[in-house]
Structure 1
Amino acid sequence: MTNQAIVAGVGMIKFAKPGASDSYDAMGAAAIRDALKDAGLTYADVQQAYAGYVYGDSTCGQKALYQVGMTGIPIVNVNNNCSTGSTALFLARQAIEHGVADCVLAVGFEQMQPGALGSHWTDRPTPFDDFDAACDDLVGNSQVPLALRYFGGAGKSHMEKHGTNLNDFAKIRAKASRHAAKNPLALFNQEVTEEQVMSAPVMWEGVMTRLMACPPTCGGAAAILCSEAFAAKHGIDTTVSIKAQSMTTDYASTFEARDMMQVVGYDMTAEAAKQVQEQSGIDIADVDVVELHDCFAHNELITYEGLGLTPEGTAQKFIADGDNTYGGKFVTNPSGGLLSKGHPLGATGLAQCYELTHQLRGTAEARQVEGAKTALQHNLGLGGACVVTLYQAA
């Protein structure tokens, strides 16, 4: 027997540009306090904590949590690239389901620096050596920053295989901005049109403009999970629970397929989505709302197909028919996604949890997806790990 993991409380602070935010510990602590308040609990009720961040020294989690309380509980620091926040959530959910603890906190935060992502360690092999080599081999174009080559290369692969064009990516970015305009916690609230996205500075001719990439962002988000017994004892709202969750890492196909879509995690996504369907018995077609990892508009497009929201090769029609927004089949990234809400690496997965929890509670205000009962979360980190989570409302 396993325990059902209830999402007892969620918290999130407004995301900000590098240099315009509080320090990482203050952001993390603020998100934790919001989640505790949302759950109606105190820090003394928390039995374990998982703290996620990518850029920071060891035990940054303790630095953030100690601002809220010092109760001697286990605190585990988590680093899994851009899927760090959902990895912390994955570990918290496991602790609840297997009866290790009855009330567990997952928090993610990131204090980022301006500019392209890069390694802070230059005297040793990087986790991306093999990925970089594959990218150089398949894409070349070394004058383009590496992250753009990864995801732009994946988008270019889709264009070559399925006839996708630059306007399709522009439509995704414009959709993200329309959603974010209704989200007071998003970094960018201003709407942009497809034409404005297309006329933005070119980052890679024929493949990407600047507005198709998410910005470096600072922020924090948190979630508190508990068992059903704990919820009953403490009078906690049990509306939202985690029905199924899967984490995958790279398969041999990541490199053997010689396709940039695989290099950036297409097979990790597809397998994680398959496992979640099998665990839950719920078909992806029955999902109402989705938060997926749109670090680039290109990744949102290929993820439609990776998750099974639409069959392989049909993303262009899926977008044209408006099936990725309100009134369509799957309202995708109602928060504005990484493209407009922002992408503080360690916080992203928990910010997705925040959004979907409010959607299933019916408390998402202007962003509310009418009648939302089932939600899907996808969070991807290169190097690599992918976490897919299925939430359901009672």
Structure 2
Amino acid sequence: MTRKALVAGVGMVKFAKPGENENYDVMAEKAVREALQDAGIDYAEVQQAYASYIYGDSTCGQKALYRVGETAIPIINVNNNCSSGSTALFLARQAVMGGSVECALVVGFEQMRPGALGTVWDDRPSPFDDFTGHLNRLGYAVTKAGPAPCVFGAGGMDYLERYDADPAIFGKVAVKTRNHAVKNPYALFTKPMTLEEVMTSPVIYEPHLTRFMACPPTCGAAAAIVCSEEFAARHGIGHGVEMAGQGMATDHSDSWDSAMNLVGAQMTRRAAAVAYEQAGIGAEDADVVELHDCFTPNEVITYEGLGLCGEGEASRFINDGDNTYGGKVVVNPSGGLMSKGHPIGATGVAQCVELCWHLRGLAGARQVEGARVALQHNLGLGGAAVVTVYRV
């Protein structure tokens, strides 16, 4: 595949708490119409569409997109847990680069319920059974908090023990992220937090994972138009952002060797290596990063998985402020999942939207000045990790 794939237009709605949102189809329609307007094209120009979500019946993508138009195009519904949005982008990029289509639409959305995530299909084996089983084998407790807090909490404990790190680094990441969200009008939480507030909030997984280290259930939608260079030229689209490299990895047998690998440390490394090779860059070339901080321990683990710092060096990376404005790279200027929110099917697409805004100089008060290369990391347990390099 030698063709380039460009993000030609993006759109997103402000994220909301469950119960304060519009229905998923309405949110998705708004995001799609904004992306089409941004690209300057009609829906009739779209040849294929990918709709990502995990909560809903099997053709919610059609329900949402029929509000925009009924043009008989293929609409593929994508469910890959928390990496659904970036998986949809992965498929759209493949379709464009492979020559199957010249213009594809990606829309991600989620209409979530309040409270912790639970199992919907409890009459059959859960894909999380393997993860909780391996947690027990590795000596970590499985509690009533649910699979995600247990696995990510254990991943954080593994990191602290492995590198003799201070658990305050998890709180410092939350403080940094909330400070970024203050400048994002699309974010759910925009009130700053202190380190004391984070560290003394209720513990959800013993001994160190607290409530303010966990992302909230969220509703929202985001959309992106992915097209070829030739399509962009014909339609006068001069602001396209190249999807210069993209890697996707699922679990390997070594995923079960440690709690850190259970939450995707090795998947991230493998996906990042592919993305960097395709783009011809290294992690040090990234100006801005949106990564999957569903729990702040995962942001810490991911710094090293992406190569933003060396193994065991995340504490210094955080304490030196190298993860924010004025440091080596700005991580999660949007506020990330922690503060912007995590409407699961929309998250990966929303990361793409945020990074495209920075590369186009449209991110307002949170703009990373001079951004030319952006890095996206989206992770789902079960599992899949997708790493994408964008550049202008």
What TM-score, normalized by structure 1, do the two folds share?
A: 0.98
Aligned pair 1:57/2:57, yes or no?
A: yes
User: What secondary structure sits across from 1:22 in the alignment?
Assistant: coil
After TM superposition, the structure 1 = structure 2 runs for residues 268-307 of structure 1, keeping only pairs within 5 Å, are 268-307=267-306
Kindly provide the amino acid, as one letter, of the partner of residue 83 in structure 1: S
Task: Give CA deviations for 1:2-54 in whole Å, capped at 9, x if unaligned.
Answer: 21111100000000011110111111111101111111111111110000001
Asked whether 1:150 is paired with 2:144, we answer no
Question: Is the Cα–Cα contact under 8 Å of residues 33 and 68 in structure 1 kept in the other structure?
Answer: yes
C-alpha distance after superposition, 1:286-319 (max 9, x if no partner): 1100000000000000000011000110100000
Paired residue secondary structure (1:89): helix
| SS of equivalent residue, structure 1 residue 119 | coil
Determine if contact 1:136/1:142 at 8 Å carries over to the other structure. no
Alpha-carbon separation, structure 2, partners of 1:220 and 1:88: 14
Distance 2:167 2:41 in 1: 48
Unmatched segments (≥5 aa) in structure 1:
none
Cα offset for 1:166? 2.0
Report the Cα offset of residue 141 of structure 1: 4.4
**Mapping of residues 142-291 of structure 1, within 5 Å:** 142-255=143-256, 257=257, 259-291=258-290
What is the 5 A alignment of 1:1-12? 2-12=2-12
Stretches of structure 2 lacking an aligned partner (at least 5 in a row): none
Answer with 203-212 or 318-327: which moved more: 203-212
Q: CA deviation at 1:238?
A: 3.7
Contact 1:272–1:388 at 8 Å: present in 2 too? yes
- Inter-partner Cα distance in structure 2 for 1:165 and 1:145: 25
4+ long deviations beyond 6 Å: none
1:304 aligned counterpart, secondary structure = helix
Contact kept? 2:31, 2:222, Cα under 8 Å: yes
Q: How many residues align?
A: 391
Residue type of the partner of 1:156? M
Deviations 1:128-174 (A, max 9, x none): 12112112333114243321111010000000011222211110000
SS of corresponding position for 2:217: coil
Check conservation: 1:50, 1:77, Cα contact below 8 A. yes
| Identical-residue share of aligned pairs (%) | 61
Distance in structure 1 (CA, Å) of the matches to 2:86 and 2:19: 25
- Work out whether 1:311 is the aligned partner of 2:313: no
Aligned-partner Cα distance in 1 for 2:135–2:111:
28
- RMSD, aligned CA: 1.0
- The answer as to whether partners of 1:228 and 1:238 remain within 8 angstroms in 2 is no
Task: Verify the 8 A CA contact 1:246 1:387 in the aligned structure 2.
Answer: yes
- In structure 2, how many angstroms separate the alpha carbons of the residues matched to 1:277 and 1:2? 16
* TM norm structure 2: 0.98
Q: Is the 8 A contact 2:265 2:302 kept in 1?
A: yes
2:46 — aligned with what? Answer: 46
State the distance in 1 between where 2:130 and 2:177 align: 32
Write the letter of the residue equivalent to 2:159. Answer: H
SS in 2 for 1:347: helix
SS of the equivalent of 1:346 reads: helix
